[in-house]
């Protein structure tokens, strides 16, 4: 057998004429006969982020032997290492699949604080909205794996795949010991970057169909010793930030009075942008710094705020270029320091604050997406398309970050679209399922389905489908989600 590695033939979609998706043609080959087998299992999940962890736990619960291949030393990906907090709303009720419901319950017990925002406002409603302190989430994820029997292989990087007759036989990984093989009956690509899919020769796309650019990356951070109540008053009453609607303000005051860490958000919006523009004029911040500024208080970590910024300029950096990504990290860390210094000097409530945590990985919104059996588009969102093989529902807007933020119009309350199982499987590889932000869809569609709750639900379904197929000798890309008994499915479409 020969090991295949990607040649970089994946297309960047751009220009007026959208080309057909191209395959990542395997080109680098070397003899793998002397590479030892580390695991021989039923399900191999590559990537232990939000989607991958859900996939491994769910497949193990259904009776399959599962292993997660994770390059870092903790599960959760951007949820934990990337400081991406909180989970965004899905803007539709009944979107939380059983895995998410259980995770919320466990997290509330573990962190001793509310695990989701349950205050309904004009902006915050529907499912999702998980409030997970990263240090609690990593432990809960490991507990879920231990209880279900899913193995974890930390500090392990995917470097290739062995493909025969349209089937992945093994994936090749790099560990501290050197190269190793993982053999499995079904593989789940939860890398976020469709890395396993590209190694296996699956067709992929990247970037906007109009500009060719990826969505910009962020390098998030947390600040401690923040007077959250004081920050809220400043943004709400002085800067007229309307994010904290009356029900949220009421809950915040109740939480502060009771000594609980409250939920609070601030952001640079139209009503307060003059405040940030003045800081740029004064030389405290740059125009790049104020492109996107947002912060959230962290449940389970009193007096702490998670910053959803800085956002590195999309015209300078590409999420699909290794050298560019490294430069973006360096650039972003300088932006981070300027923003933190500005908050301390100019925003009441941050006077004694300091950077308590820097993200250990880039906040990547979009890179490669597969071309699966079904290709989601913006029309599926706008038309509220439902599917018999739907694995989850969402109404999260098409949220495109670029030179200018393009936060698409919301669907009317009660409307939603669904993601079909066919968007998670490919024509090329019979035993591959893809879950998370690299699922099959256009640039605009991915800008909606990339949020953590939807990725977790996709992962949950991927795990269930993988186990179902293995136990019945059905290839993953031939499994019909709608044929699985309703009580075994994590989500059943209402049509």
Residues 29 and 146 in one domain: yes
Residues 74 and 204 in one domain: yes
Mean pLDDT of 317-331: 98
Mean pLDDT of 114-121: 93
Q: Which domain-ending residue is among 358, 381, 409?
A: 358
Residues 12 and 80 in one domain: yes
Tell me, what DSSP letter sits at residue 20?
A: P
Helices (H) and strands (E) in the chain, counts: 11, 22
Domains: count for the chain? 2
CA nearest neighbour of 456 among 66, 154, 102: 102
- Is residue 310 reached through a cis peptide bond, with omega within 30 degrees of 0 on the bond before it? yes
Q: What is the pLDDT of residue 29?
A: 65
Mean pLDDT of 131-159: 98
Distance CA 155, CA 173 (A): 10
Q: What is the pLDDT of residue 495?
A: 85
Q: Identify whether 494 is part of a domain.
A: no
Torsion of CA 3, 52, 436, 161, to 10 degrees: 0
Write the pLDDT tens digit of every residue in 216-226. Answer: 999 999 999 99
Q: What are phi and psi of 401, to 5 degrees?
A: -90, 135
Which residues are 75's β-sheet partners?
Answer: none
CA nearest neighbour of 218 among 363, 91, 317: 363
Average pLDDT, the chain: 93
Q: Is the pLDDT assigned to residue 493 strictly greater than 70?
A: yes
Q: Is the pLDDT assigned to residue 32 strictly greater than 50?
A: yes
Residues 176 and 132 in one domain: yes
Contact status, residue 390 vs residue 420, Cβ threshold 8 Å: yes
Residues 197 and 225 in one domain: no
Q: Is the pLDDT assigned to residue 336 strictly greater than 60?
A: yes
Residues 206 and 57 in one domain: yes
Q: What is the CA radius of gyration of the chain?
A: 22
Mean pLDDT of 404-427: 90
Distance CA 412, CA 124 (A): 14
Q: Identify whether 216 is part of a domain.
A: no
- Between 462 and 122, where is the model more confident? 462
Write the pLDDT tens digit of every residue in 283-298. Answer: 999 999 999 999 999 9
Q: Is the pLDDT assigned to residue 490 strictly greater than 90?
A: yes
Write the pLDDT tens digit of every residue in 220-275. Answer: 999 999 999 999 999 999 998 888 999 999 999 999 898 888 899 999 999 999 99
Q: What is the pLDDT of residue 296?
A: 97
Q: What is the pLDDT of residue 33?
A: 79
Q: Please, what is the angle between helix 452-471 and helix 50-61, to 10°?
A: 30
Q: Which domain-ending residue is among 329, 358, 387?
A: 358
Q: Is the pLDDT assigned to residue 341 strictly greater than 50?
A: yes
Q: Identify whether 173 is part of a domain.
A: yes
The full DSSP string for 248-275 is: HHHHHHHHHHHTPPPP-EEE--GGGHHH
Q: What is the pLDDT of residue 10?
A: 44
Residues 311 and 377 in one domain: no
Note down the domain range covering 329: 221-358
Q: Is the pLDDT assigned to residue 16 strictly greater than 90?
A: no
Write the pLDDT tens digit of every residue in 62-102. Answer: 999 999 999 999 999 999 999 999 999 999 999 999 999 99
Distance CA 375, CA 21 (A): 11
Q: What is the pLDDT of residue 407?
A: 60
364 Cβ partners below 8 Å, 6+ apart? 78, 192, 193, 217, 319
Distance CA 70, CA 85 (A): 21
Strands 432-434 and 178-189: parallel
- Residue 139, CB half-sphere, CA atoms under 13 Å: how many? 10
Residues 337 and 433 in one domain: no
Q: What is the CATH number of the domain that holds 137?
A: 3.50.50.60
Q: What is the pLDDT of residue 8?
A: 42
Residues 38 and 141 in one domain: yes
Q: Which domain-ending residue is among 337, 358, 379?
A: 358
Element (H, E) at 3: strand 2-6
Residues 246 and 135 in one domain: no
Q: Is the pLDDT assigned to residue 404 strictly greater than 80?
A: no
The full DSSP string for 368-428 is: EEE--SS-B-HHHHHTT---TTEEEEE----EE-SSS-EEPPPPPTT--EEEEGGGGB-SS
Which residues are 31's β-sheet partners?
Answer: 2
Q: Identify whether 215 is part of a domain.
A: no
Q: Is the pLDDT assigned to residue 2 strictly greater than 50?
A: no
Q: Identify whether 54 is part of a domain.
A: yes
Q: What are phi and psi of 38, to 5 degrees?
A: -90, -45
Strands 368-370 and 203-206: antiparallel
Residues 135 and 53 in one domain: yes
Write the pLDDT tens digit of every residue in 385-403. Answer: 999 999 999 999 999 998 7
Q: Identify whether 493 is part of a domain.
A: no
Mean pLDDT of 52-61: 99
Contact status, residue 331 vs residue 314, Cβ threshold 8 Å: no
Contact status, residue 91 vs residue 410, Cβ threshold 8 Å: yes
Distance CA 236, CA 190 (A): 39
Cβ neighbour number for residue 260 with a 10 Å cutoff: 17
253 Cβ partners below 8 Å, 6+ apart? 229
Q: What is the pLDDT of residue 391?
A: 99
Write the pLDDT tens digit of every residue in 298-307. Answer: 988 989 999 9
Q: What is the pLDDT of residue 145?
A: 99
Q: Is the pLDDT assigned to residue 30 strictly greater than 80?
A: no
286 Cβ partners below 8 Å, 6+ apart? 280, 335, 338
Residues 388 and 338 in one domain: no
CA 382 to chain centre: 22
Could you tell me what percentage of the chain is helix, strand and coil, using 3-state DSSP and rounding each to the nearest 5?
A: 30, 25, 45
Q: pLDDT class for 170, splitting at 50, 70, 90?
A: very high
- Between 112 and 277, where is the model more confident? 277
Distance CA 236, CA 234 (A): 6
Q: Identify whether 495 is part of a domain.
A: no
- Is residue 86 reached through a cis peptide bond, with omega within 30 degrees of 0 on the bond before it? yes
Distance CA 321, CA 319 (A): 6
Distance CA 415, CA 60 (A): 33
Q: Identify whether 363 is part of a domain.
A: no
- Between 407 and 465, where is the model more confident? 465
Q: What is the pLDDT of residue 325?
A: 98
């Amino acid at each position: 057998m020969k090991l295949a590695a990607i040649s970089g033939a994946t297309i960047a979609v751009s220009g007026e004429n959208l080309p057909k998706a191209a395959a990542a043609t395997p080109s680098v080959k070397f003899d793998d006969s002397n590479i030892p087998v580390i695991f021989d299992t039923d399900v191999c999940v590559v990537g232990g982020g939000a989607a991958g962890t859900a996939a491994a736990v769910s497949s193990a619960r259904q009776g399959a032997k599962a292993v997660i291949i994770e390059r870092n030393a903790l599960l959760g990906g951007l949820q934990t290492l990337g400081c991406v907090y909180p989970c965004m709303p899905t803007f539709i009720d009944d979107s939380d699949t059983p895995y998410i419901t259980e995770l919320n319950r466990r997290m509330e017990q573990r962190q001793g604080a509310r695990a989701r925002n349950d205050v309904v406002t004009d902006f915050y409603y529907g499912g999702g909205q998980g409030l997970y302190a990263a240090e609690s989430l990593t432990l809960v994820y490991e507990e879920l794996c231990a209880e279900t029997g899913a193995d974890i292989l930390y500090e392990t990087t995917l470097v290739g795949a062995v493909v025969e007759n349209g089937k992945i036989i093994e994936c090749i990984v790099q560990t501290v010991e050197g190269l190793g093989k993982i053999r499995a009956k079904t593989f789940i690509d939860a890398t976020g970057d469709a890395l396993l899919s590209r190694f296996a020769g699956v067709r992929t796309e990247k970037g906007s169909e109009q500009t060719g650019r990826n969505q910009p990356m962020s390098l998030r951070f947390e600040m401690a010793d923040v007077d959250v109540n004081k920050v809220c008053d400043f943004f709400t009453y002085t800067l007229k930030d309307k994010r904290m609607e009356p029900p949220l303000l009421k809950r915040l005051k109740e939480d502060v009075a009771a000594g609980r860490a409250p939920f609070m958000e601030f952001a640079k919006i139209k009503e307060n942008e003059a405040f940030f523009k003045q800081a740029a004029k004064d030389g405290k911040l740059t125009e790049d710094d104020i492109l996107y500024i947002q912060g959230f208080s962290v449940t389970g970590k009193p007096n702490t705020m998670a910053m959803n910024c800085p956002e590195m300029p999309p015209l300078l950096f590409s999420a699909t270029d290794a050298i560019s990504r490294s430069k973006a990290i360096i650039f972003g860390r300088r932006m981070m320091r300027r923003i933190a210094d500005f908050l301390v000097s100019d925003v009441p409530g941050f006077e004694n604050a300091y950077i308590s945590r820097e993200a250990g990985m880039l906040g990547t919104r979009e890179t490669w997406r597969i071309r699966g059996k079904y290709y989601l588009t913006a029309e599926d969102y706008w038309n509220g398309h439902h599917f018999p093989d739907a694995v989850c529902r969402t109404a999260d807007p098409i949220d495109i970050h670029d030179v200018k933020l393009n936060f698409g119009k919301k669907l009317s309350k009660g409307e939603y679209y669904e993601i079909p199982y066919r968007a998670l499987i490919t024509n090329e590889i019979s035993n591959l399922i893809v879950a998370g932000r690299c699922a099959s869809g256009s640039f605009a569609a991915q800008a909606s389905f990339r949020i953590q709750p939807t990725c977790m639900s996709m992962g949950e379904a991927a795990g269930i489908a993988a186990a179902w197929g293995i136990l019945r000798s059905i290839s993953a890309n031939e499994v019909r989600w709608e044929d699985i008994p309703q009580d075994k499915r994590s989500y059943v479409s209402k049509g």
